[in-house]
Structure 1
Amino acid sequence: MEIETQIADYLHYSQVERGLSRNTIISYRQDLKEFVAFLTQKNISDLHDVDRFVILDFLQSKNQQHQARNSVIHAVSTLRRFFRYLMQEKQLTENPMAQVDAPKHAQTLPQVLTVDEVDRLLAAPDVSTKYGCRDRAILETMYATGLRVSELVHLKMDDLHLEMGLIQTVGKGNKERIMPIGDVAIEWLNRYISESRPQLLKNRQAVEVFLNAHGSGLSRQSIWKKLKQYVALAGIKKDVTPHTLRHSFATHILENGADLRILQELLGHADISTTQIYTHISKKRMTDVYRKYHPRA
C-alpha cells in the first residue's frame, strides 16, 4: 500500500472513529507530510523500510532546520500514533517508534499580561465603530471566559445564555462545557449583538456570534491579526497571541483564590496536570513581586 494511502486511512480513522478535531487532524497531516517528504529524499517508498534510525534521522533533520522543540515533540507524538495504528491494522509487524523517545518539553512559562495591561488592551478598540464594538466584545469575552480562539470563532448565537450569565462551547475532543461570563463582558456582547452585528449581517443569515465584513464567521487568523494591532495601540511590548488572554484569565483567577479543580473545569482541561502550569506562573509572579518590593530581597 502506498504511504499516502496509509496516511489518508489513518487521518480518516482519527477523524471519524476517534472524533478528533479538525485542527488536530490538520496538525497530524502537516507532520506526516513532512515525514513523507523526508522519506522521498531518502528514496524510501515503503514503510516496511522505516526503522528506528530513519526516524532519528528525520528528527535530527528537524533540529537542523532549527524547528522549535515543541514541533519536534509533536512530530514524535504524531508518528507514535500513526505507527501504532499501522500495527493495529496489521500493516506492519515491527514498530519503528518502539525505542524512540520524545525530547523533553522546555520548561518555559506562557506569557501573561498584568491586569493593567489587560485593561489597556480592552480599551484599545474604537467602540464608536461597528468593528471596534465587535472587537471589544471579542476581547472582553476571551478574557472573561478563557475561551480558546478556535472555540471563540465557532461560538454560535444559541450558545449564549446571557440572561443566566452562562455560555456553552465545544472544546478539544468534542467535549462540551458550560461556563460563567462576567457582567462587563455580557454588557459588551449585548451592545455588539444589538448594534453592530445587524450592520455586519446585512439581512443575511449566520449562526456565528462574531462576524466579518461579509456577514460570515471570523477566522482564527483574522482575530490574531486584529489582536496584534490592539496590542500595539495599547503600548504593550510583550508577544501577545489569542492564547495569551486565556493564560492571563487562568493566572488572574488563580491569583485571586480560585481552586485548581474549578480552573480545570473552566479551561476544559482533561488532565489537571495541564492546569498545574498556572500554579508555577503564580509562584513566579509572587517571587517577582517579592524581589521588587521587599527592601532586602
Structure 2
Amino acid sequence: MQRNLPVEKYKRYLLLERGLSSNTIDAYMADLQKLVDFMEARNLSFTGIRLQHLEEFLAELHDNDIKARSVARTISGIKSFFHYLVLDGVIEENPSQLLEAPKIGLKLPVVLSIEEIDSILDSIDVSTAEGTRNYAIIETLYSCGLRVSELTNLRFSDLFFDEGFIRVLGKGDKQRLVPISETAIQKINNYLFYRQRQIVKKGSEDIVFTSSRGSAISRITVFYYIRQYAGAAGINKEIGPHVFRHSFATHLLERGANIRVIQEMLGHEKITTTEIYTHIDRSFLRQEIIEHHPRNKK
C-alpha cells in the first residue's frame, strides 16, 4: 500500500489500540487499498468522499464478480476506517454509515463424523517420525479445536500435561487455556521420542511441531498432509485443518456441551460466531429424522 497518512495512522490504531493480529490487519489493509485506488482514479479525498461514491465503489466490486461475502467484509473494513477518521477528527460525518452489506446465505462448515476422523488417523503410517508427528497434529487439532496457526505456533512452554491443559495464542494475540485429552497427550509424547532427537534450527527450539528441516511446520504442510490422508481414507469432502476445529465444536454440542463453554474453548470473541454450530446441530437432527422416521420411508 502506498504511503498515505490517514491509512498509516489507521493501521497503527488497529495494531496498538484494537490489538488485532497481523493477518487480520493485512486483510483490512488489502480491502482498504481497493478503496484508495478507486478514490485516486477519481481524484477523491477522504474529506470529500460521500455515500454515493462508496456505493459506486461497491457497484464496481460487484461488476468485477467479487463474491458477496468478500464485499461484506470490505464494507465492514470501510465502516471501521471511516469511524476511525471521525474519532481522529479527520472528518466530521461518517459517509459509510448508511452502507448496506449484501445478504449472505448461511454457509455451514464441513464437519467430519467420528468414523471419518478415525479413518483418516488409521491411514497414517505411525512407524515413521513423519507419520507419528502428523498423527499427533491431527489428534491435537481435533481434541483441542485449534486453528492451524495456533497449532503451528504451539511451544513446549505452552504444554501443561500434568494439569491437562495447553496454552494457546489465538487471534489478536489473546491467550486461552484449552483442555487436552489423554489421547492427544499420548500421541504428542509418542512424537516427542523423535522430536527430541531432531536437530532444530536456531529460534525453533521451543516449537513443538517441526518440519524435517528443523523449523516450525508450516500451515501449507499441514494442509497437504491432511488432504493426502483424507484421500487415502476415501473421504471426498473438502478437507483442511479447520474441518477438525468444526468437528470438535459440533461433536461437543451434539453431546450436550454448553455453547458458552465451546465459545471459550474456540476463543471466539462473540457468541454469534459460535452459534453457527447450533445450525449444524439442527441440520444434523433434521437429517437424522428424515433418514429414520417411518413417515419418510418410501
Common fold: TM-score over 0.5? yes
Per the TM alignment, residue 83 of structure 1 is displaced from its structure 2 partner at its CA by: 0.9
Per the TM alignment, residue 54 of structure 1 is displaced from its structure 2 partner at its CA by: 1.8
Deviating more after overlay: 200-209 vs 271-280: 200-209
Per the TM alignment, residue 37 of structure 1 is displaced from its structure 2 partner at its CA by: 2.6
Aligned to 1:47: 46
TM-score, normalised by the number of residues in structure 1: 0.92
Aligned to 1:273: 272
Per the TM alignment, residue 147 of structure 1 is displaced from its structure 2 partner at its CA by: 0.7
Per the TM alignment, residue 249 of structure 1 is displaced from its structure 2 partner at its CA by: 0.4
Percent identical pairs in the alignment equals 39
Question: 1:130-169 alignment to 2 at 5 Å?
Answer: 130-169=129-168
Count of residues in Structure 1 that have an aligned counterpart in Structure 2 = 295
> Which amino acid counterpart does residue 89 of structure 1 have in structure 2?
D
Instruction: Check conservation: 2:51, 2:96, Cα contact below 8 A.
Output: yes
Deviating more after overlay: 196-205 vs 23-32: 196-205
Residue 201 (1) aligns with residue 200 (2): yes
Aligned to 1:27: 27
CA distance in 2, matches of 1:61, 1:219: 36
Question: 1:247-286 alignment to 2 at 5 Å?
Answer: 247-286=246-285
Question: 1:14-93 alignment to 2 at 5 Å?
Answer: 14-40=14-40, 42-93=41-92
Aligned to 1:107: 106
> Which amino acid counterpart does residue 118 of structure 2 have in structure 1?
D
Residue 185 (1) aligns with residue 184 (2): yes
Give SS of 1:169's match. strand
Q: Over residues 22-78 of structure 1, what are the superposed CA-to-partner deviations in whole Å (9 max), with x where a residue is unaligned?
A: 1111111111122223333x3335222321122112222222232222211111111
Per the TM alignment, residue 140 of structure 1 is displaced from its structure 2 partner at its CA by: 0.4
Q: Over residues 163-184 of structure 1, what are the superposed CA-to-partner deviations in whole Å (9 max), with x where a residue is unaligned?
A: 2221111222332211111111
Aligned CA RMSD, in angstroms, stands at 2.0
CA distance in 1, matches of 2:225, 2:44: 44
Per the TM alignment, residue 200 of structure 1 is displaced from its structure 2 partner at its CA by: 5.5
Per the TM alignment, residue 281 of structure 1 is displaced from its structure 2 partner at its CA by: 0.6
Structure 2 unaligned segments of length 5 or more: list them: none
Give SS of 1:47's match. coil
Structure 1 unaligned segments of length 5 or more: list them: none
Q: Over residues 100-151 of structure 1, what are the superposed CA-to-partner deviations in whole Å (9 max), with x where a residue is unaligned?
A: 1222332121111111111112223322222221111110000001011121
Per the TM alignment, residue 271 of structure 1 is displaced from its structure 2 partner at its CA by: 2.1
TM-score, normalised by the number of residues in structure 2: 0.92
Any runs of at least 4 consecutive aligned residues in structure 1 with deviations exceeding 3 A, and if so which? 202-205
Give SS of 1:49's match. coil
